[in-house]
Amino acid sequence: MSFVDTLRQWDNAVTCVDRQDLTEALAIFLAIQEPNSKIYFDIGCLHLLNNDLDAAEKAFDCSIGKDEHLAVAFFQRGMTFYRKQRYEESLADFQHAFRTLRGNQLIDYKALGLRYKLFACEVLLNVALCEAHLGKWEKAHENLVKALDYKIDTKLNIIDRALDSALKQKLFKPVEFPSKVLFKPNRHYVAELEKKDYLGKAKVVASVVPQDAFSGFAPLQPQVEESPTYPKEREVLRALEGQPHTVLYEFVPETSDELAVVPGNIVFVLQKGADNWASVVFNERRGLVPYNYLERLEISLASKQNEGQGRSQPPSKEPPTRPERKPGLTPSGKASGDTQQKDEQSTNNLCIVKVCFTFNFAVSVPPGCTYAILVEKICKKLNLPSTSITLSLTSEATEESIITPSTEMEGVWRRATGLRITLWCNTKEQTDGNPKSETHYFVALHSYESSSPEDLNFHQGETVTFLSRVNQEWLEGECNGKTGIFPASFVEELPVDGRTMK
């Protein structure tokens, strides 16, 4: 059981006690799977109210086992033993509670969620009462005299009355814990249990779709026929070609090619497999989702059938059983990265070109394309002009392996296997024999732990070799034999002959 679930049940149980519904409160407390010391204390107090002394004793045992410094738990277990007439065990618990006070007049448990103050003089009074029951009147008198040293004005009368009774060797009443006073969860944590809608519900202001109530991140269709001002990702356009579906149940992925969705999301189904799995796109991400978690969403530009109707609300019943993945029947659906890119391209009969640069990447081109198309794709990926790179068929750029505009491309594509080919790319500075750039190094100002597989781990003070700049905020480098990306703000460049990288 999570901390949030425990907190919610704890708060519900305390609320039931405030309503005088002790039976329901005890049932809620007992349903908590891993109670802490305070919850066990509350359970013991409710058992005492029901006069179930054995169950109360076990609950206070668990409370003390969780927190051996909880003096009020020893005090309550001592009262349980007292009511069971086990005075020696009761005396031991009261004495332990007094020692836990460590010479203080009282302990105020308000900060811990219990509106109660445990006074040392009251604990000593109960110690004296147990001594009296055991026939040790002299020790009982000594403990009552000792209680006078810890008394406060409001507790003076009960100590004086107990002393008078002890001198006459008459028993007196014990000090008992107030009924229905329980530990309560932190009110600040409880306040955070309720979901807050800070932004409010989104609504459609303008749309080319009649009666459009969709308010997600991906549009239902292109808003204009012309090319958009900002280029759209190909994945979004593919999503518009798929079938829109509403997600009915929350789905938690178990493999990297599955996609996490929650009720109310609108996804676009690209392909449905025979084993009830569907390849979908949601928020520009592609992955697999069980098709029985989805419901088809009908969209019509001209009809008025959906007038006055919004999206259907997800059902409240339990989600269906996760379907079994069957090889050959499950559609392909990679979640992100190069794997997703390769999968999409292979379905479109494109040739995958793996380019070995200072880092590896892949581009997709039509099979048998010209040199110009190939170079344009690679240069766009590297953000370099076509005149500054050289392609080769091998890692060593020799005259026989270099690919130039005059190279017969049919011979190059014949080397492809299964629509896949590997090429090597070098900049002109790397191939003319006189490199113009030096290797740059960085020193780590702070330790960095990766949050994703492509990140690079390093510790403060380690040296990182610079490989490439991803953008203004991220760099690619090598450290301890591993390669990855890292924030530029975590490192500082080491000067090379008085110069630094710009």
Determine how β-strand 285-290 pairs with β-strand 277-282: antiparallel
**What is the spatial distance between Cα 273 and Cα 480, in angstroms, rounded to a whole number?**
44
pLDDT for the residue numbered 215: 57
**What is the spatial distance between Cα 434 and Cα 428, in angstroms, rounded to a whole number?**
9
Among 290, 420, 272, residue whose Cα is nearest residue 332: 272
Q: Which two tokens stand for residue 406?
A: 């005059």
**What is the spatial distance between Cα 292 and Cα 277, in angstroms, rounded to a whole number?**
8
Helix (H, G, I), strand (E, B) or coil at 477: strand
The two most distant CA atoms of the chain are separated, in Å, by 120
| Cα–Cα–Cα angle for 169, 172, 173, rounded to 5 degrees | 165
Among 120, 63, 68, 126, residue whose Cα is nearest residue 92: 126
pLDDT for the residue numbered 187: 78
pLDDT for the residue numbered 324: 72
- DSSP per position, 205-224: S--SSTT----SSS-SS-S-
Distances (CA, A) of 202 to 197, 198, 216, 413: 11, 11, 9, 51
Neighbours of 284 (CB within 10 A): 15
Burial class (CB in 10 A: 0-12, 13-18, 19+), 243: middle
In the sheet with 285-290, reading across from the earlier edge strand, the strands are 285-290, 277-282, 266-272, 243-247, 294-296
Helix (H, G, I), strand (E, B) or coil at 498: coil
Buried b (16+ CB within 10 A) or exposed e, 167-182: eeeeebebbeeeeeeb
HSE-CB at 109 with a 13 A cutoff on CA atoms is 21
Neighbours of 40 (CB within 10 A): 25
Helix (H, G, I), strand (E, B) or coil at 57: helix
**What is the spatial distance between Cα 112 and Cα 71, in angstroms, rounded to a whole number?**
13
The secondary structure of residue 233, as a DSSP letter, is: P
Helix (H, G, I), strand (E, B) or coil at 405: coil
- CB distance 123 to 166 below 8 Å: no
Long-range own/partner contacts, residues 327-331 (CB < 8 A, 24 or more apart):
329/273, 329/274, 329/275, 329/277, 330/273, 330/275, 330/277, 330/288, 331/270, 331/271, 331/272, 331/273, 331/277, 331/278, 331/279, 331/288
**What is the spatial distance between Cα 251 and Cα 319, in angstroms, rounded to a whole number?**
9
Helix (H, G, I), strand (E, B) or coil at 15: helix
Low-confidence ranges of the chain (pLDDT < 70): 1, 153-156, 194-198, 200, 204, 207-241, 299-318, 325-349, 428-439, 451-453, 496-502
pLDDT for the residue numbered 377: 87
pLDDT for the residue numbered 198: 66
Distances (CA, A) of 137 to 147, 161, 165, 193: 15, 15, 11, 54
**What is the spatial distance between Cα 426 and Cα 405, in angstroms, rounded to a whole number?**
16
pLDDT for the residue numbered 93: 93
| Cα–Cα–Cα angle for 85, 91, 97, rounded to 5 degrees | 130
- DSSP per position, 175-216: P-PPTT------HHHHHTTS---SS-----S--SSTT----S
Among 224, 262, 218, residue whose Cα is nearest residue 240: 218
- DSSP per position, 307-344: TT--PPPPPSSPPPPPPPP-TTTSPP---SHHHHHHHH
